[in-house]
């Protein structure tokens, strides 16, 4: 009996040890997973520049995070990935958050960048007979559906006394749109830097009009409500370090141009044009910015580009 009792105790201790080990391993695995942060970015945007500058990744790694980067061609596809949970943070233009919220996503605004109106606009070929926005009536115009360029086009048409129905929209992502533009399959192309600069330098294009006076054309940093609420410190760190990278970008144009040209595999002249016509920065999310976003939402609803009227303030964390 004595021997059996000792054996039983030993077996019980082994069981407890194994279960504790499994629990510890499971907890460690969960913590490791939680300590991986995935950032979505587009060519030449703030996250990309922060990736190049290096302070963001260095700081997050010092806090125990593993940083992963995923590149996207436009904002809408990036927010699809964010909503699906394949990335944790995204950087897009002003319009994708609107269409994403209207589609029922759980995205939230966590930060905002400074305006960048000069590098976004409507492109036509240098030998085009289109000399003003009013000349776009009846023309085929390429742009990425639901993107910041979509809204810019709408505002430009309104300013010229035209409606959205006056043009033939061609919903093409930047890579596809450039091919269509160069082949003459579309009459105009609405896009943002560095695609705008590349078209001006390499594709016999000129800016018919840029975004100045039409839209504030801000960048937004986004996450999901659940993730942002449980990672407030991480969010603050990301925005602070992106701000550091933006200061570096403004003060080191030559190095930034060199790095971006290499990273994007684009001509130095293209990157120089794109970099020299903007000021990088991170701003505070204010009521004025909410109103800017609400105007985009109301405009898209009026034109039936989103299925229902939305209150953008619900996508701002309280």
Domains and CATH numbers, the chain: 36-114+218-315 (3.40.190.10), 121-210 (3.40.190.10)
Q: How far apart are CA 225 and CA 108, in angstroms?
A: 6
Q: Residues 97-107: pLDDT tens digits? A: 999 999 999 99
Res 29 pLDDT > 70: no
User: Predicted confidence band at 276 (pLDDT cuts at 50, 70, 90)?
Assistant: very high
Instruction: Please state the rounded mean pLDDT for residues 30-42.
Output: 77
Among 15-29, 74-88, 110-124, 247-261, where is mean pLDDT lowest? 15-29
Note the pLDDT of residue 16: 41
Q: Tell me the average pLDDT of the chain.
A: 90
Could you give the percent of the chain with pLDDT greater than 70?
89
The rounded percent of the chain whose pLDDT value lies above 90 is: 81
pLDDT at 318: 72
Average pLDDT over residues 123-151: 95
Query: Residue 76: what pLDDT?
Result: 85
pLDDT at residue 140 above 90? yes
Query: What pLDDT is stored for residue 33 in this prediction?
Result: 52
pTM: 0.81
Taking residues 189-203, what's their average pLDDT?
95
Q: What is the mean pLDDT of residues 279-286?
A: 94
Is the pLDDT at 41 greater than 50? The verdict is yes
The reported pLDDT for the residue numbered 56 is 98
């Amino acid at each position: 009996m004595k021997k059996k009792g000792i054996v039983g105790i030993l077996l019980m201790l082994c069981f407890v040890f194994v279960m504790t080990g499994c629990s510890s391993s499971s907890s460690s695995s969960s913590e490791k997973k939680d300590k991986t942060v995935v950032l979505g970015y587009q060519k030449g945007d703030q996250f990309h520049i922060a990736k190049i500058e290096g302070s963001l990744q260095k700081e997050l790694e010092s806090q125990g995070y593993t940083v992963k980067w995923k590149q996207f061609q436009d904002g809408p596809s990036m927010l699809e990935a964010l909503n699906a949970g394949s990335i944790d943070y995204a950087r897009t233009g002003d319009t994708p958050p609107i269409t994403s919220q209207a589609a029922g996503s759980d995205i939230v605004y966590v930060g905002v960048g400074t305006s960048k109106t000069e590098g976004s606009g409507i492109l036509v070929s240098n030998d085009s007979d289109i000399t003003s926005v009013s000349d776009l009536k009846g023309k085929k115009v390429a742009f990425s559906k639901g993107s910041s360029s979509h809204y810019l086009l709408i505002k430009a048409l309104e300013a010229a006394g035209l409606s959205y129905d006056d043009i033939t929209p061609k919903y093409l992502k930047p890579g596809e749109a450039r091919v269509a533009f160069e082949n003459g399959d579309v009459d105009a192309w609405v896009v943002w830097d560095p695609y705008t600069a590349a078209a001006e330098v390499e594709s016999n294009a000129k800016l018919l009009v840029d975004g100045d006076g039409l839209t504030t054309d801000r960048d937004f940093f986004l996450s999901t409500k659940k993730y942002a609420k449980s990672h407030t410190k991480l969010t603050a760190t990301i925005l602070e370090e992106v701000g550091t990278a933006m200061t570096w970008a403004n003060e080191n144009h030559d190095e930034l141009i060199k790095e971006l040209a290499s990273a994007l595999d684009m001509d130095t002249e293209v990157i120089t044009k794109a970099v020299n016509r903007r000021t990088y920065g991170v701003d505070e999310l204010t009521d004025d910015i909410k109103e800017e976003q609400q105007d985009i939402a109301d405009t898209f609803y009026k034109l039936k580009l989103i299925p229902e009227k939305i209150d953008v303030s619900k996508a701002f964390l309280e």
